[in-house]
Structure 1
Amino acid sequence: MSEQAIYVYAKWQVKEGKLDEVLQILKEASKKSSEEEGNLFYKIHQSKANQNILILFEGYENESALEFHKNSEHYQNLVVKQIVPLLENREVIVMDQIF
């Protein structure tokens, strides 16, 4: 596993009528994720053109920190079990910084 910082862009298309519920759960998920050892940042953005599109921009110290996050109890419970069923579409891109 790489020891350089790793970044995640997640694009969520929230189902119509589910945005408030997703945002409420996401507040707790964001707080807990930001407190993880190895988390550099956890930022949430909302599209100006379509409020049901959210972009999460996350940074982790290394791949081990990202794996810890993905396997954490709060991620599994809040994101995987509660938020994902409220999404129309979800795209996750994991990236290395090159410049």
Structure 2
Amino acid sequence: MSDKPVNLFAKWQVKDGHLESVLKLLPELVEQTRKEEGNLFYTIHQSITDPNTIMLYEGYKNEDAVAAHRASEHFKAIALGQIVPVLDNREAVLATQLY
């Protein structure tokens, strides 16, 4: 695995009727993720034209830090356990910065 910083761009499409519950879970997910040793930043955005579209922009020291995030208890409990079940779609792209 590379030791280069890695960014993650994710798009969540929340099912109708579940947006408020997802929005209530996000502060804890953000707080816990930002405490991770390998996390550089973790921001969450909401679409202006479709409030059910949530975009995540995350930065990690390297791919190992991404793996540690995905293995964390808060990711498993909040993201996988409570948010993913109420999503219509979930996309994620890992990328390294070119310029």
CA deviations 1:18-45 (Å, max 9, x no partner) are 1110011111111100110010000001
What 5-or-longer segments of structure 1 have no aligned partner? none
Partners of 1:33 and 1:67 in 2: CA distance: 12
Segments of 4+ moved more than 2 angstroms: none
Q: Equivalent residues in 2 for 1:1-99 (5 A)?
A: 1-99=1-99
**Where does structure 2 lack aligned partners over 5 or more consecutive residues?**
none
Question: How many residues get paired?
Answer: 99
| 1: CA distance, partners of 2:63 / 2:28 | 23
TM-score with structure 2 length normalisation?
0.97
Aligned-partner Cα distance in 1 for 2:20–2:81: 17
